[in-house]
């Protein structure tokens, strides 16, 4: 009976049931673009410079999971069409960035041939898994991801911390990419837009934790060992459409 139940669950989770857990698309703000390339980030999605550099700062809490940072770089390199590596802030070769309170400063010139992503591990200083925002320093955009790694540790008895951390990093990076566009996004607190848009598909790293997503993801993790560390087919199609638009105008 147990084996039959497990096989039935596998069939259910691999049989296209993601649609059953799909959230309804909600209206985006009137200012949101309705046409390709929507508001996707061209710098992070096209080969505009030599590399993407992920700079890592541990402001509070325990050290990061190397697997999670490697996974983020794999995703960034794949969609950014150029190499991506990560380096600890303050190490030789790292850009001269530093936070003072909530302000970011550059103590020297920044490499114009690198797109910069700054991952800050802030421990329990966030009341959420992570958040993302962009700061401009010395004329250079720095894509910031803050992550509450202590929250992942709470669940490490049940799910590997490295995968939880990777999913949060890829999720927040998806916000920097500009995903999802209005055709398959939703706002959890609609008509309040302050929480940001998330993907309606439960098989996407950019989905928002809710009962259907957790149920779908739990089946995949426990039975199929499949982690939500990439974007869904609709998000990938949006990226491809934006790239085709940009290339058609080169």
209 forms beta bridges with: none
In this prediction, residue 154 carries a pLDDT of: 83
CA 146/CA 156 separation, integer angstroms: 19
Q: Is the pLDDT of residue 28 over 60?
A: yes
Three-state DSSP class for residue 78: helix
Structure tokens at 22: 């799909």
State the average pLDDT for the chain.
87
Q: Is the pLDDT of residue 218 over 70?
A: no
List phi, psi (to 5°) of 61. Answer: 85, -175
Q: Is the pLDDT of residue 7 over 70?
A: no
User: If we measure between CA atoms, which residue out of 87, 148, 100, 153 comes closest to residue 120?
Assistant: 148
Residue pLDDT, tens place only, 177-202: 999 999 999 998 899 998 889 999 88
Predicted TM-score (pTM) of the model is: 0.90
Pairing mode, if any, of strands 84-88 and 198-199?
Answer: unpaired
CA 249/CA 43 separation, integer angstroms: 15
In this prediction, residue 3 carries a pLDDT of: 47
CB contact at 8 A, 59 and 118: no
Give the single-character DSSP code of 3: H
| Max avg pLDDT among 16-25, 149-158, 173-182 | 173-182
Residue pLDDT, tens place only, 45-67: 999 999 999 999 999 999 999 99
């Amino acid at each position: 009976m147990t084996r039959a139940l497990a096989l039935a669950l596998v069939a259910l989770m691999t049989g296209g049931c993601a649609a059953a857990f799909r959230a309804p698309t909600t209206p985006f703000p009137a200012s949101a673009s309705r046409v390709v390339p929507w508001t996707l980030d061209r710098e992070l999605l096209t080969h505009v410079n030599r590399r993407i550099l992920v700079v890592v700062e541990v402001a509070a809490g325990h050290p990061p999971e190397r697997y999670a940072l490697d996974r983020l770089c794999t995703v960034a390199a794949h969609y950014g069409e150029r190499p991506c590596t990560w380096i600890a802030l303050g190490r030789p070769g790292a850009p001269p960035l530093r936070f003072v309170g909530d302000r970011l400063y550059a103590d020297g010139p920044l490499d114009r041939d690198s797109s910069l992503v700054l991952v800050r591990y802030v421990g329990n200083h966030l009341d959420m898994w992570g958040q993302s925002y962009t700061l401009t320093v010395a004329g250079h955009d720095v894509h910031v991801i803050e992550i509450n790694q202590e929250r992942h540790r709470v669940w490490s008895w049940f799910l590997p911390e490295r995968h939880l951390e990777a999913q949060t990093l890829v999720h927040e990076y998806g916000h920097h990419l500009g995903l999802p566009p209005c055709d398959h996004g939703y706002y959890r607190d609609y008509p309040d837009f302050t929480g940001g848009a998330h993907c309606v598909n439960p098989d996407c790293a950019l989905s928002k934790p809710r009962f259907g997503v957790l149920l779908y993801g739990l089946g995949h993790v426990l039975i199929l060992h499949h982690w939500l560390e990439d974007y869904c087919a609709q998000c990938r199609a949006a990226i491809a459409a934006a790239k085709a638009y940009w290339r058609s105008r080169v």
